[in-house]
Amino acid sequence: MRRLLDIMQDDWRIYKKRRNEYDLLNEQYTIGKKFVTGFVVSLLGFITPFATVPLVLNAADALGLCNISDDRPLPFRIEHFVNVDKYYNVLLIHSFFGTLGYTLIVLAVNCMMVTYVIHESGLCEILRVRLENFVEIDTADVDLHPSKRDDKWYENARDCVLLHKHIIEFANILEDANTTCYLIMIGFDMICISFTQFQTVINLENPPLALRYVSLSVCLLCDLLFISWPGQHLTNSSERIFEFATNGKWYQSSISCRKLLTMMLARSLRPLKLTACKLYTLNLQSFSAVRFAF
Protein backbone atom coordinates (compact mmCIF):
# COMPACT_ATOMS: atom_id res chain seq x y z
CA MET A 1 0.00 0.00 0.00
CA ARG A 2 2.87 2.34 0.79
CA ARG A 3 4.35 1.62 -2.62
CA LEU A 4 1.10 2.61 -4.32
CA LEU A 5 1.01 5.88 -2.41
CA ASP A 6 4.63 6.60 -3.34
CA ILE A 7 3.84 5.98 -7.02
CA MET A 8 0.84 8.30 -6.83
CA GLN A 9 2.94 10.98 -5.17
CA ASP A 10 5.58 10.72 -7.91
CA ASP A 11 2.90 10.93 -10.60
CA TRP A 12 1.44 14.07 -9.07
CA ARG A 13 4.89 15.69 -9.03
CA ILE A 14 5.30 14.91 -12.72
CA TYR A 15 1.88 15.98 -13.96
CA LYS A 16 1.69 19.06 -11.77
CA LYS A 17 4.16 20.61 -14.22
CA ARG A 18 1.84 19.88 -17.16
CA ARG A 19 -1.31 21.89 -16.79
CA ASN A 20 -3.58 19.96 -19.18
CA GLU A 21 -2.67 16.55 -17.77
CA TYR A 22 -2.90 17.87 -14.22
CA ASP A 23 -6.46 19.01 -14.95
CA LEU A 24 -7.35 15.55 -16.28
CA LEU A 25 -6.21 13.98 -13.01
CA ASN A 26 -8.22 16.52 -11.03
CA GLU A 27 -11.36 15.73 -13.05
CA GLN A 28 -11.10 12.04 -12.20
CA TYR A 29 -10.52 12.80 -8.53
CA THR A 30 -13.63 15.00 -8.56
CA ILE A 31 -15.67 12.05 -9.87
CA GLY A 32 -14.23 9.83 -7.16
CA LYS A 33 -14.96 12.39 -4.46
CA LYS A 34 -18.63 12.57 -5.45
CA PHE A 35 -18.97 8.79 -5.46
CA VAL A 36 -17.23 8.41 -2.10
CA THR A 37 -19.38 11.13 -0.52
CA GLY A 38 -22.57 9.49 -1.76
CA PHE A 39 -21.48 6.09 -0.51
CA VAL A 40 -20.47 7.35 2.95
CA VAL A 41 -23.79 9.15 3.38
CA SER A 42 -25.85 6.15 2.22
CA LEU A 43 -23.91 3.60 4.29
CA LEU A 44 -24.08 5.64 7.49
CA GLY A 45 -27.74 6.39 6.75
CA PHE A 46 -28.61 2.69 6.58
CA ILE A 47 -26.45 1.57 9.52
CA THR A 48 -27.62 4.32 11.89
CA PRO A 49 -31.17 2.94 12.47
CA PHE A 50 -29.77 -0.51 13.19
CA ALA A 51 -27.10 0.67 15.63
CA THR A 52 -28.95 3.46 17.44
CA VAL A 53 -32.45 2.03 17.97
CA PRO A 54 -31.44 0.09 21.13
CA LEU A 55 -29.82 3.24 22.54
CA VAL A 56 -32.89 5.33 21.75
CA LEU A 57 -35.21 2.77 23.36
CA ASN A 58 -33.08 2.68 26.50
CA ALA A 59 -33.04 6.47 26.65
CA ALA A 60 -36.83 6.54 26.26
CA ASP A 61 -37.16 3.92 29.01
CA ALA A 62 -34.98 5.99 31.33
CA LEU A 63 -37.19 9.03 30.68
CA GLY A 64 -40.34 7.02 31.36
CA LEU A 65 -41.61 7.27 27.80
CA CYS A 66 -41.78 3.50 27.33
CA ASN A 67 -41.15 0.26 29.19
CA ILE A 68 -38.59 -2.22 27.82
CA SER A 69 -37.80 -4.06 31.05
CA ASP A 70 -39.33 -7.29 29.70
CA ASP A 71 -37.31 -7.30 26.47
CA ARG A 72 -34.19 -5.19 26.67
CA PRO A 73 -32.94 -4.83 23.06
CA LEU A 74 -29.45 -5.43 21.71
CA PRO A 75 -28.29 -4.84 18.12
CA PHE A 76 -27.41 -8.53 17.67
CA ARG A 77 -29.41 -11.46 19.03
CA ILE A 78 -26.56 -13.89 19.57
CA GLU A 79 -25.14 -16.02 22.37
CA HIS A 80 -22.88 -13.73 24.40
CA PHE A 81 -21.73 -16.46 26.82
CA VAL A 82 -22.27 -14.11 29.77
CA ASN A 83 -25.26 -13.07 31.86
CA VAL A 84 -27.01 -10.61 29.54
CA ASP A 85 -29.08 -9.02 32.31
CA LYS A 86 -26.02 -8.44 34.47
CA TYR A 87 -23.78 -7.09 31.70
CA TYR A 88 -26.49 -5.53 29.55
CA ASN A 89 -25.08 -1.99 29.53
CA VAL A 90 -21.58 -3.22 28.71
CA LEU A 91 -22.89 -5.39 25.85
CA LEU A 92 -25.03 -2.53 24.54
CA ILE A 93 -22.12 -0.08 24.45
CA HIS A 94 -19.77 -2.71 23.03
CA SER A 95 -22.23 -3.60 20.25
CA PHE A 96 -22.78 0.05 19.34
CA PHE A 97 -19.11 1.00 19.15
CA GLY A 98 -18.21 -2.32 17.54
CA THR A 99 -20.75 -1.74 14.76
CA LEU A 100 -19.65 1.86 14.31
CA GLY A 101 -15.96 0.92 14.39
CA TYR A 102 -16.34 -1.82 11.79
CA THR A 103 -18.35 0.52 9.55
CA LEU A 104 -15.67 3.21 9.73
CA ILE A 105 -12.92 0.69 8.97
CA VAL A 106 -14.83 -0.55 5.93
CA LEU A 107 -15.37 3.03 4.78
CA ALA A 108 -11.68 3.86 5.17
CA VAL A 109 -10.50 0.76 3.28
CA ASN A 110 -12.99 1.20 0.45
CA CYS A 111 -12.23 4.91 0.10
CA MET A 112 -8.53 4.08 -0.29
CA MET A 113 -9.37 1.51 -2.98
CA VAL A 114 -11.42 4.09 -4.85
CA THR A 115 -8.55 6.58 -4.60
CA TYR A 116 -6.15 4.11 -6.21
CA VAL A 117 -8.56 3.27 -9.02
CA ILE A 118 -9.43 6.92 -9.65
CA HIS A 119 -5.72 7.68 -9.98
CA GLU A 120 -5.43 4.84 -12.48
CA SER A 121 -8.40 6.22 -14.43
CA GLY A 122 -6.73 9.63 -14.48
CA LEU A 123 -3.63 8.07 -16.03
CA CYS A 124 -5.85 6.41 -18.66
CA GLU A 125 -7.34 9.80 -19.50
CA ILE A 126 -3.86 11.28 -19.88
CA LEU A 127 -2.98 8.38 -22.18
CA ARG A 128 -6.14 9.04 -24.19
CA VAL A 129 -5.14 12.65 -24.87
CA ARG A 130 -1.59 11.64 -25.76
CA LEU A 131 -2.75 8.93 -28.16
CA GLU A 132 -5.19 11.24 -29.89
CA ASN A 133 -2.53 13.91 -30.36
CA PHE A 134 0.78 12.11 -30.70
CA VAL A 135 0.76 13.06 -34.40
CA GLU A 136 0.02 16.77 -34.71
CA ILE A 137 0.01 17.25 -38.46
CA ASP A 138 -2.46 16.43 -41.20
CA THR A 139 -0.67 15.70 -44.46
CA ALA A 140 -0.63 13.05 -47.14
CA ASP A 141 3.16 13.26 -47.48
CA VAL A 142 4.28 10.78 -44.82
CA ASP A 143 7.88 9.61 -44.48
CA LEU A 144 7.52 5.98 -43.46
CA HIS A 145 11.21 5.37 -42.74
CA PRO A 146 12.76 8.51 -41.26
CA SER A 147 15.85 8.42 -39.11
CA LYS A 148 15.22 8.38 -35.36
CA ARG A 149 16.61 11.90 -35.15
CA ASP A 150 14.06 13.16 -37.69
CA ASP A 151 11.15 11.02 -36.48
CA LYS A 152 9.61 13.59 -34.14
CA TRP A 153 6.48 11.48 -33.54
CA TYR A 154 8.45 8.43 -32.41
CA GLU A 155 9.20 9.97 -29.02
CA ASN A 156 5.50 10.78 -28.56
CA ALA A 157 4.55 7.18 -29.34
CA ARG A 158 7.29 5.93 -27.02
CA ASP A 159 5.92 8.09 -24.18
CA CYS A 160 2.46 6.61 -24.77
CA VAL A 161 3.80 3.05 -24.59
CA LEU A 162 5.74 3.80 -21.39
CA LEU A 163 2.66 5.38 -19.80
CA HIS A 164 0.60 2.34 -20.77
CA LYS A 165 3.23 0.10 -19.17
CA HIS A 166 3.09 2.25 -16.03
CA ILE A 167 -0.71 1.91 -15.94
CA ILE A 168 -0.49 -1.89 -16.19
CA GLU A 169 2.19 -2.10 -13.49
CA PHE A 170 0.15 0.09 -11.14
CA ALA A 171 -2.93 -2.11 -11.68
CA ASN A 172 -0.90 -5.28 -11.04
CA ILE A 173 0.48 -3.88 -7.78
CA LEU A 174 -3.04 -2.87 -6.75
CA GLU A 175 -4.35 -6.36 -7.53
CA ASP A 176 -1.53 -8.16 -5.71
CA ALA A 177 -1.80 -5.93 -2.63
CA ASN A 178 -5.56 -6.18 -2.18
CA THR A 179 -6.81 -9.42 -3.72
CA THR A 180 -6.82 -11.31 -0.39
CA CYS A 181 -8.39 -8.35 1.39
CA TYR A 182 -11.14 -8.27 -1.23
CA LEU A 183 -11.85 -11.98 -0.70
CA ILE A 184 -12.17 -11.52 3.07
CA MET A 185 -14.41 -8.46 2.74
CA ILE A 186 -16.68 -10.00 0.11
CA GLY A 187 -16.93 -13.29 1.99
CA PHE A 188 -17.76 -11.50 5.22
CA ASP A 189 -20.38 -9.37 3.44
CA MET A 190 -22.09 -12.42 1.96
CA ILE A 191 -22.16 -14.23 5.31
CA CYS A 192 -23.60 -11.16 7.03
CA ILE A 193 -26.21 -10.66 4.30
CA SER A 194 -27.35 -14.27 4.76
CA PHE A 195 -27.55 -13.75 8.52
CA THR A 196 -29.49 -10.46 8.35
CA GLN A 197 -31.97 -11.76 5.79
CA PHE A 198 -32.55 -14.86 7.92
CA GLN A 199 -33.20 -12.59 10.91
CA THR A 200 -35.59 -10.51 8.79
CA VAL A 201 -37.62 -13.58 7.84
CA ILE A 202 -37.93 -14.98 11.37
CA ASN A 203 -38.91 -11.56 12.74
CA LEU A 204 -41.61 -10.69 10.20
CA GLU A 205 -44.16 -10.65 13.03
CA ASN A 206 -42.15 -7.84 14.63
CA PRO A 207 -42.02 -5.17 11.87
CA PRO A 208 -39.75 -2.66 13.71
CA LEU A 209 -37.11 -5.34 14.33
CA ALA A 210 -37.47 -6.74 10.82
CA LEU A 211 -36.99 -3.27 9.33
CA ARG A 212 -33.78 -2.86 11.32
CA TYR A 213 -32.38 -6.00 9.73
CA VAL A 214 -33.60 -4.88 6.31
CA SER A 215 -31.66 -1.63 6.73
CA LEU A 216 -28.55 -3.62 7.66
CA SER A 217 -29.00 -5.90 4.62
CA VAL A 218 -29.25 -2.86 2.34
CA CYS A 219 -26.17 -1.41 4.03
CA LEU A 220 -24.19 -4.59 3.32
CA LEU A 221 -25.36 -4.63 -0.31
CA CYS A 222 -24.25 -1.01 -0.65
CA ASP A 223 -20.85 -2.01 0.69
CA LEU A 224 -20.65 -4.84 -1.85
CA LEU A 225 -21.57 -2.35 -4.58
CA PHE A 226 -18.88 0.02 -3.37
CA ILE A 227 -16.34 -2.82 -3.51
CA SER A 228 -17.42 -3.79 -7.04
CA TRP A 229 -17.62 -0.30 -8.57
CA PRO A 230 -13.85 0.48 -8.58
CA GLY A 231 -13.16 -2.74 -10.47
CA GLN A 232 -15.82 -1.86 -13.03
CA HIS A 233 -14.46 1.68 -13.38
CA LEU A 234 -10.92 0.36 -13.90
CA THR A 235 -12.09 -2.09 -16.56
CA ASN A 236 -14.08 0.60 -18.37
CA SER A 237 -11.11 2.97 -18.38
CA SER A 238 -8.58 0.39 -19.59
CA GLU A 239 -10.69 -1.30 -22.25
CA ARG A 240 -11.05 2.02 -24.10
CA ILE A 241 -7.29 2.35 -24.62
CA PHE A 242 -7.58 0.29 -27.81
CA GLU A 243 -10.21 2.71 -29.09
CA PHE A 244 -8.08 5.72 -28.14
CA ALA A 245 -5.08 4.36 -30.02
CA THR A 246 -7.00 3.59 -33.20
CA ASN A 247 -8.72 6.99 -33.17
CA GLY A 248 -5.40 8.85 -33.40
CA LYS A 249 -3.53 9.79 -36.56
CA TRP A 250 -1.35 6.70 -36.46
CA TYR A 251 -1.62 6.38 -40.25
CA GLN A 252 0.45 9.57 -40.59
CA SER A 253 3.29 8.23 -38.47
CA SER A 254 6.34 6.20 -39.39
CA ILE A 255 6.60 2.42 -39.44
CA SER A 256 8.57 2.54 -36.19
CA CYS A 257 5.72 4.39 -34.49
CA ARG A 258 3.21 1.90 -35.78
CA LYS A 259 5.23 -1.02 -34.40
CA LEU A 260 5.23 0.60 -30.98
CA LEU A 261 1.49 1.15 -31.13
CA THR A 262 0.93 -2.43 -32.30
CA MET A 263 2.52 -3.75 -29.10
CA MET A 264 0.30 -1.50 -27.02
CA LEU A 265 -2.81 -2.48 -28.97
CA ALA A 266 -2.09 -6.17 -28.43
CA ARG A 267 -1.89 -5.68 -24.66
CA SER A 268 -4.92 -3.38 -24.48
CA LEU A 269 -7.14 -6.15 -25.86
CA ARG A 270 -7.14 -7.57 -22.31
CA PRO A 271 -8.75 -4.95 -20.04
CA LEU A 272 -7.40 -4.52 -16.54
CA LYS A 273 -9.49 -5.96 -13.73
CA LEU A 274 -9.51 -6.48 -9.99
CA THR A 275 -10.36 -9.83 -8.44
CA ALA A 276 -10.77 -11.47 -5.06
CA CYS A 277 -8.09 -14.18 -5.31
CA LYS A 278 -9.31 -14.89 -8.87
CA LEU A 279 -12.58 -16.26 -7.42
CA TYR A 280 -14.68 -13.12 -7.78
CA THR A 281 -14.20 -10.41 -10.39
CA LEU A 282 -14.97 -6.97 -9.08
CA ASN A 283 -17.50 -5.52 -11.51
CA LEU A 284 -21.18 -4.68 -11.66
CA GLN A 285 -22.02 -7.95 -13.40
CA SER A 286 -20.74 -9.94 -10.41
CA PHE A 287 -22.55 -7.60 -8.04
CA SER A 288 -25.83 -8.10 -9.90
CA ALA A 289 -25.42 -11.88 -9.72
CA VAL A 290 -24.87 -11.73 -5.94
CA ARG A 291 -27.74 -9.30 -5.44
CA PHE A 292 -30.23 -11.51 -7.26
CA ALA A 293 -28.90 -14.59 -5.45
CA PHE A 294 -29.87 -13.03 -2.13
Alpha-carbon separation of residue 185 from 22, 110, 164, 192, 256 (angstroms) = 33, 10, 30, 10, 47
Q: Which pTM value belongs to this model?
A: 0.80
Nearest to 163 by CA among 111, 214, 210, 125: 125
pLDDT band at 118 (very low <50, low <70, confident <90, very high): very high
Residue 145's Cβ-count burial label (10 Å; 0-12, 13-18, 19+) is: exposed
Summarize pLDDT for 99-113 with one digit per residue, the tens: 788 888 888 888 888
Summarize pLDDT for 156-203 with one digit per residue, the tens: 778 888 888 999 999 999 999 888 888 888 888 888 888 888 888 888
